[in-house]
A and B are shown apart, each in its own frame.
Chain A
Amino acid sequence: MAENKELRIHVEHLKKSFGTLEVLKDISTDIHEGEVVVVLGPSGSGKSTFLRCLNRLEDITAGTVIVNGNDITDKHTDINKARENVGMVFQHFNLFNNMDVLGNMMLAPVELKKASKEQAKEKAVELLTRVGMQDKLHAYPAQLSGGQKQRVAIARALAMNPKIMLFDEPTSALDPEMVGEVLAVMKQLASEGMTMVVVTHEIGFAREVANRVIFMENGYIVEEGTPSEVIDNPKEARTIDFLSKVL
């Protein structure tokens, strides 16, 4: 069913090395419009690196990555242009500390001439309302809780109208009581049809929201399929081993 939809991300024989350390050994996968793909795996398996290769925050050592039709492994591709359509949410939020919430929301749309100041502000308020942060327009990041920061960070990424959203362990740095509010925003986003790739340890979220789960270990995709296939009936010994530790 997903195959009939537009191809958003095409990854072919992706390899990534840091010096002599080969982190991604041979990754191939396709992600289509509206899919929510959750990437699971033990730490050091390369899942975050894989995600960061999708908007070339990491230089790609070998292979092909095509995102929204742009070959981002091609040196001639305007990477800044390609990134405009790919939102990213980080483990440590990375809100701009020198700006208030509105400033964070408006910087990229205004700088990149996607919107006038007034339009950007209007859109920012609308998005912040969606994530329940409309009361904190003029707060600085240092004045927000972790969960609030992450919700602003998600809204900031959405302000660019991305076609794809990447989440790099978005709840891992949060206090337990704040995980729910961030996952709720992500669930809502998924239900609206956003194409999402999520690196997370939240198995519950994967089971409930994901169309597809990718299990990675040691630089390879070990197993992939629907949540019920990978999480509830894993076939590979390494997947079974990992899930027995986290479930």
Chain B
Amino acid sequence: MIQILVGFGPMMLKALGQTLLLALLGLFFACIIGLIFGLMNVVKNKACNIIATIFVDVIRGVPMIVLAYFIFFGIPYLWNNMLGIGGMTLTALTAGTICLALNCGAYMAEIIRAGIQSVDKGQMEAARSLGLSYGVAMRKVVLPQAIRTMIPSIINQFIITLKDTSILSVIGFPELVNTTKNVVGITFKSFQAWALAGLMYLVVIIALSRLAKMLERRLNRGRE
């Protein structure tokens, strides 16, 4: 254990950093995607509703590992070989970010849709009856109330996404799982290396969920 820690600790810490980078990028774009498709699901427009539903169904219906292979290998193949346009290369980071953002985005869209729908219809009606537009009513009245109920689910989704970065080891991104595999390949010390990797995930996730709990409590302070 000591040997792994001293010999490969810095390398694995760096990999953890890559994991966090990937997770943050993925989550950032996931929030945008989730907000767009979540709103498209609740607006009074059939076309928007259908597009949002299809997006969510497709992404949720495909395992993330398939999505990762499809984006990393399939899309450049389509572009370069099948369409013959050529010149497209995706880095593992780009493909991984897209993959995480789409996957997490679909779940975020569902969380946001449910959150918005949990706000009493009368809130929107009262805002509209004063002459406010749908957009202003949504932004100033409905969304701030929806976010409160969404926070626990969003935190949960963030943690899932952080763990899902491990799946992206399959496209060769040097995150923690991929790096640990290499360490095991060199040292054959499976138990120690995987225990250390697990511990690193555990520490980060526990720290994050504590932070999230604090944030949640602060947001709910002063409200009955």
Residues on A close to B: CB < 8 A?
Answer: 55, 57, 80-81, 83-84, 86-88, 90, 92-98, 107-108, 111-112, 140, 142-143, 153, 156-157, 160
Contact = CB atoms under 8 A, between A and B. Distances in A.
Interface in B168-224: 223-224
B223 A96 contact: no
A97 B129 contact: no
B131 A112 contact: yes
Interface string B114-142: 00000010110111111111001000110
A153 B123 CA distance: 12
A96 B128 contact: no
Given A98-B141, A142-B224, A80 B123 contact: no
Contact of A94 (B125, B132, B223, B224): B125
10 contacts: A57-B129, A81-B131, A83-B129, A86-B129, A93-B122, A96-B140, A107-B127, A111-B132, A156-B130, A160-B131
B224 A83 contact: no
A84 B130 contact: yes
B128 A57 contact: yes
Contacts of A140: 223-224
Choose among B120, B127, B130 the residue with the greatest number of A CB atoms under 10 Å from its CB: B130
B10 interface: no
B125 A96 contact: no
A96 B132 contact: no
B136 A94 contact: no
A97 B131 contact: no
B129 A107 contact: no
A55 B126 CA distance: 11
Choose among A80, A84, A90, A156 the residue with the greatest number of B CB atoms under 10 Å from its CB: A80
Nearest to A88: B129
Nearest to B139: A111
B144 interface: yes
